Amino acid sequence: MNLFSSKVTFREIMVLTLYKLDASPPVRSVLMVIHAAKIPDVKYVDVNLFTGDHLKEEYLKLNPQHTIPMLTDDDFAIWDSHAIAAYLLTKYSNDKSLYPTDAKKRAVIDQRLHFDSGILFPSGRGALEPVLFKGEKAFRPEALEKIKSAYEFSEKFLTNTWMAGNDLTLADICCVSSISTLNEILPIDAKLYPQLTAWFERCKEQEFYKKGNEPGIEQIRGVLKSKLG
């Protein structure tokens, strides 16, 4: 179903709906949350950034920031992957383990989410944009240095099994969507980052990763192959 099809009105699809582009790391984090929490009956609408779907009037009325992902729940619209994920887990999941209510546990998870939005995701975007949109045939050295710094911080955070302690949480889901993308740009060196490597392998074993993240990673891999030659 396409939001912008002349045969479909917006009112007809105002149910729990995720507007997405699978290659996007933030989108993939929400897809993984949906699979991990087993949230049913979510409709999906693909938003083509390259043809400007996100800049059309109908989309801008809901999300003036014109970003993806965006979630609508009847007449409620929310964007930013972390906000969407927290909303879905709070409203639609009885399992609170991914985003526990304990203040200290949630504070650590939230810190990792801010690390994702402030360090992990921007370092990937900074590397990808010149290649995807400016025709550059190699990643800029300064962009690769930022990715290395992101890996170093992540390695230090992983003093336990998972990103925010001994339990798998929303922190792992959101961080792995970005780190799996960074790994396509600059593969993680297992000798330099053994804890990060082991964590990444644990994440890849999860069913939610296979369903919600791998298809988008395959898209990124294919695009980079065509762009970098």
- What is the set of active-site residues? 24
Give the H or E element holding residue 32: helix 25-36
Cα-only R_g, the chain: 18
3-state secondary structure 136-203: CCCCCHHHHHHHHHHHHHHHHHCCCCECCECCCCHHHHHHHHHHHHHHHHCCCCCCCCHHHHHHHHHH
Nearest to 92 by CA among 122, 112, 71, 68: 71
User: 10 Å Cβ neighbour count for 38?
Assistant: 11
Output the six-digit token pair for 160: 């336990």
Q: How far is CA 145 from CA 24, 124, 126, in A?
A: 22, 11, 11
CB 1 within 8 A of CB 47: no
Q: Helices 141-157 and 194-204 meet at what angle, rounded to 10? A: 80
Starting at the edge strand that comes first in sequence, how are the strands of the sheet with 70-73 ordered?
Answer: 43-46, 17-20, 70-73, 76-79
